Amino acid sequence: MVGENTDHAALIEKLGVDIDPELLVLALTHRSYAYENGGIPNNERLEFLGDSILGQAVTVKLFRENPDLDEGELAKRRASLVSSVALAEVARGIGLGQYLRLGRGENQSGGRDKASILADTVEALIGAAYLDAGGEEATALVLRLVDPLLADPDRFGAAMDPKTSLQEAAAHRGAGLPVYTVTNSGPDHSKTFHATVSVGDIVTATGEGTSKKQAEMAAALNAWTELTRRRARASRG
């Protein structure tokens, strides 16, 4: 079982903004850790704040850089960039999972790579940056975080619509349609959905989320990523 990395210097360097150490720790504290440690504060309030800043920064960027797109297409692109699937990709790109403060159960069940937890923590970090460094720095952080997705059209497309991207990748390989199975766990007010997707006998991948759709999207993106990696290895060989 991998534990928490408490050396935050590398994370701060990747974020490119100084955040007060106590505020940074709060942003990294998941509710499962808080519950197991006497109900200490967790990152959900920061996540609430960061979600608003994220949405505004992405909206302004898309509006300014895409003068020919109508409202519907702008809304679609914004939704893709602020989705849990896309934010989890951003989080993995900076190695965020290793810094999470998780309860024992979440840690043992793979919480450090769970899309919903990673996405929520990205939003909490944005909120922390706003409180400590101000609106301009928080907006700059958002743009740095989403730029890697925008710079990679294939991955951006996959993050925007992973189920369609996986279906197209499967067709390219001559495989049948992806097949999804979904289960859920937890109480009614806080369910976690677990999806598994199979592309013939070529690849099987899993994903989790707070809804059936989110879990299927996460699984689809993981499967698309694996198919893309295999195609790249085959072309090199």
Binding-site residues for Mg(2+), in ranges, read 47, 120, 123
- Write out the DSSP string of 18-60: ---HHHHHHHTB-HHHHHHTTS---SHHHHHHHHHHHHHHHHH
Instruction: State the DSSP H helix or E strand holding residue 182, giving kind and residue range, or none if neither.
Output: strand 179-185
| CB contact at 8 A, 127 and 27 | yes
- Write out the DSSP string of 70-88: -HHHHHHHHHHHTSHHHHH
Query: Residue 159: which residues within 8 A CB-CB, separation 6 or more?
Result: 80, 81, 83, 85, 86, 89, 149, 221
Q: What are the distances in angstroms from CA 136 to CA 12, 39, 89, 186, 207?
A: 17, 33, 24, 39, 34
Q: Which residues are catalytic?
A: 51, 123
Amino acid at the residue 215: A
Query: Residue 137: which residues within 8 A CB-CB, separation 6 or more?
Result: 17, 129, 130
CA distance 128 to 188: 30
